[in-house]
Structure formats: C-alpha cells, structure tokens
Structure 1
Amino acid sequence: MPRLLIDTDPGVDDAFALALAARAPEVDLAAVTTVFGNVGLPATTANALGLLAACERPDVPVAAGAARALVFPAVREAGHVHGEDGLSGQSARLPRHPGLTPGGAVPLLARVLAESPEPVTIAPIGPLTNIALLLAAYPDLKPKIARLVVMGGGLTGGNSTPAAEFNLWADPEAAYRVLVEEDVPTLLVPIDLTYRCAVDGPWLDALRDSGPLGALLESFTPSYRAHYTSLLGRDCTILHDAVAVAEAILPGTLRTERLPITVQTTGPGRGAVIADRRLGVPPSPGYREIDVAVDTDLDALRALVLDRLR
C-alpha cells in the first residue's frame, strides 16, 4: 500500500484534510508533522494530535516541527479566519492523544523515508519550512520521495496579499527552495483551483448528520465558514488542503499542466507564484517546471471527500 506523510498546520481545512488521509483505505498514513502557520506551533500540534485521536488513529506518529519561518518571521497568523485556536474555538472538543514522537519533525520524516521499502508521497499543506529543512539536511533521501503534493500559491493572485497565498507567503524562502531549487517531483495545488472546490451549507449539513466524526468536523467550521461566506457572498466553506490530500491519496483526481514557476522572495510580490505560460520558450533562470493542478471534476471531488469523512 502506498505510504503518505502529511506536514500540516491545523487549521480548519487542515482538519478536514487530515481526517481524509486518516480514513482513506488507499494509503498508509505513516506519520504527521506539524508546522507554524494558521496558528502557532503549540496549537497546530495539539490540534493534529487530537484530530488523529478523533479519527481513531493514535497509532500514527506525530512530531512538532518549525515554529517560525527560515529567514523572516511571518507577519501574522490566520486566527481571524480559523479562530484563535485554529478550530473556531472548538479545539477543546478533541479527544486526548498518547502524545508526540520525540526528536522533532525533520528526523521523523527522514526516518520514515529511510525505512520505507518504496518511495513515499509527502503532502505539505502548510508553510514549507519543514520540507525545506528536510531536503537540505537529508539530500540523500530525495530518491525515497515519490512526489510532493503541495497546497499553496495562486497563479492569478493571493489571499494574504494581492499577490501571495498564505502558505507560501508565510515562508517564501522555504517555498523557493522546495518548489524552484529542488528536483523532487512536485505537484502544486493552488487556490485558483481550491476556491472552485467550495462546499456549501447542505454539504456541511450532510457531513454533520453522518456520524460523530462528521459532526465534530462540522463543529470546527463556524469562524471559517463565516469568513468565506462574507468574502464570497454565499454560504460556503473552502477546503483548500483537502483538495491536495484527495490527489495525494488518489492520483489523477486533479488535472494538471506542466508549467515553469518561480516564487518571489522580495518586494510587494513576496510569496507570490509566477508561472511562465509562454509557448516555445525554455524555462528562464530561477524557474523550474513542475505539475500545477488546474481542474477537476468538482462534483466528484466533493462526493469523494464527503464519502470518506462519513
């Protein structure tokens, strides 16, 4: 069975993504690592532990990773979107977990890769700090990575600044190292697609009524749902990270294009992804060709996520 590693900063959409991976029969969720991002590292780590316990997966090792970006600390977290605890103030509803695996995120990621008999997929769905550190410290393990399925970036604009999406904006230097400087097979899942995969009120009602886990996940959405309802003018929730994890567990769920991309690390565009769509032009210096998710069967994707979370 294919193995999967998730690096995450829960976060409401991360909670849905983590539950999706924990419940998926298609993959072996080998470990979860946490990173700063939507809220601070203590909260993202506590949320990851509790979510795995809620999914009845206390067997999955969890390790805490980077508490800040590689170079410059992030200007702000996203508590105004996810709630100050990351889960709309409902994190106390999570059950207890046996606790963290000692040693930290990067050593745990490296150990799983080294011990795996076949290459492992990694789904980074928060800032890319841990993954940049992994690739820098353990370059010999890159052949053990089947691919990175990264949630982040926006080809036509951002959600944290006019140019930059939150995950890449939180640590642009790490994003540049992972997406541009490395040679690991990579699929980027940008917000241009994830916004189109919004779920509505009836979808969330169906999730709530499906059982204890569905009800728990739906209870985490009020702050997040209110944010997107206000932003987009309709009752909806954007499950950004679950879109990437759906592709990680079922390759081919998303339609992709091969594009040269770079990540801006300076100026007003800091954290922005730039894709070179010119035809017949070789990639410019400072760009790398990667796969970028551009489309999917929206109804099928929503049904897949709801089915697994039930």
Structure 2
Amino acid sequence: MSKSILIDCDAGIDDAQALFLALCSPEVNVIAITVVQGNVLPKQVSVNVLRILRVADRLDIPIYVGSDKSLLDIDRPHDDNPYHGRDGLGDTPDPEPVDESLIKAETASNAIVRLCREHKGSLTLVCLGPLTNVATAIRQDPSLGKNLQHCVIMGGNYYGKTTQ
C-alpha cells in the first residue's frame, strides 16, 4: 500500500532530487506539489517542478503556486552567485519550454487546506522549502494538523545563520 504525500517545496537542486526519489518510489503516491519562494521566485519554482515532472513522466500531478514573500514581508535579496544557480536548477539549459497552463489557479495554501481535509488522517505533508505556504494554510485552518497523518520538515540553511 502506498503512502499519499503532498510536497511543499522551493525546487532547487536538493528538492529536485527529493522529488525524483518520491516520484520513483512505489511506496509513495504524490498527490500534489505546492511551491513557495525560496531558492528562486515561485514562477521559476513552478517551471522547475514542471521540468522535473516532465522528465519523470508525471505531468498528471497538480502544481499549486504559493507565497512570493515571507510572512514578515522581509525582502530577501537573492545572491549575485546563488547556491542553486539563477534558475534554481544549476542554470541547466532547457531547450523545450514547459506547458505553464498545467499550473493550477488555486493558491498553494488553499490547496493544502483542501487536500488535508479530503485525505483526512491519511496524508503526509512533506515540507522541503520555507514554511510560508504551510503557515498560511494553518492561519486559514488552525486545525490543519489534526487532518494530517504525518508532517515531515526538512529544515536549515546553507549559511548556518539564524535571524534575530
């Protein structure tokens, strides 16, 4: 029996690897992917996820776009030499454009709330990027966690810094 998961990510190189592992696992059923600003802006994250899904032949998985800024509305400047490249995937050229019409109109936070309700008690939320979409979903539905079977969070940052 496969485990249903919802992945929230910012689709840099590390998230691409995690997505491929999940998409190739017979033990996991990825029901949706939500995207958030992190390595790059959400529009580019969406393109990155579409590229990954195209390679994995899984364009059937819906993508929902989330927040393009932090909850504190802090401008986070992107480095001149970003860790994952300017496109988040190491600036690897892609000669074939992705079909951006596959991106759903529903916001990521709304999709998280809805999917957690629809899959009450059987869904695992896997958080690979900044938790802005999840925080926004919890603001919309403070009981969100009660609908989840599990929540898995990858945390940290490559600078090893905290903000105060």
The reply to whether TM is greater than 0.5 is yes
- Equivalent runs, 1:161-200 vs 2, <5 Å: 162-164=160-162
- Equivalent runs, 1:293-308 vs 2, <5 Å: none
TM-score of the superposed pair, with normalisation by structure 1: 0.48
> Mind listing any 5+ residue stretches in structure 1 that lack a counterpart?
165-268, 271-310
- Farther off after superposition, 98-107 or 54-63: 98-107
Q: How far did 1:141 drift? A: 3.1
Task: Answer yes or no: is the 8 Å Cα contact 1:50–1:94 preserved in 2.
Answer: no
Q: How far did 1:137 drift? A: 0.6
Using CA pairs below 8 Å that are at least 6 residues apart, which structure has the higher relative contact order?
A: 2
Runs of 4+ aligned structure 1 residues displaced above 4 Å come to: none
Number of aligned residues: 161
- Larger of the two Rg values belongs to structure: 1
Q: How far did 1:133 drift? A: 0.6
Structure with higher helix content: 1
1:147 aligned partner:
150
Identical amino acids, percent of aligned pairs:
32
2:4 aligned partner:
3
Q: Distance in 2 between matches of 1:27 and 1:118?
A: 16
TM-score of the superposed pair, with normalisation by structure 2: 0.88
- Farther off after superposition, 25-34 or 48-57: 48-57
Seen in structure 2, the aligned counterparts of structure 1 residues 111 and 90 have a Cα distance that, compared at 3 Å, is: same
Residue 47 of structure 1 aligns to a residue whose secondary structure is helix
Task: Answer yes or no: is the 8 Å Cα contact 1:12–1:82 preserved in 2.
Answer: yes
Q: Distance in 2 between matches of 1:151 and 1:132?
A: 15
1:18 aligned partner:
19
Q: Distance in 1 between matches of 2:150 and 2:120?
A: 15
> Mind listing any 5+ residue stretches in structure 2 that lack a counterpart?
none
Residue 52 of structure 2 aligns to a residue whose secondary structure is helix
- Equivalent runs, 1:1-310 vs 2, <5 Å: 1-77=2-78, 80-93=82-95, 96-97=98-99, 99-116=102-119, 118-153=121-156, 159-160=158-159, 162-164=160-162, 269-270=163-164
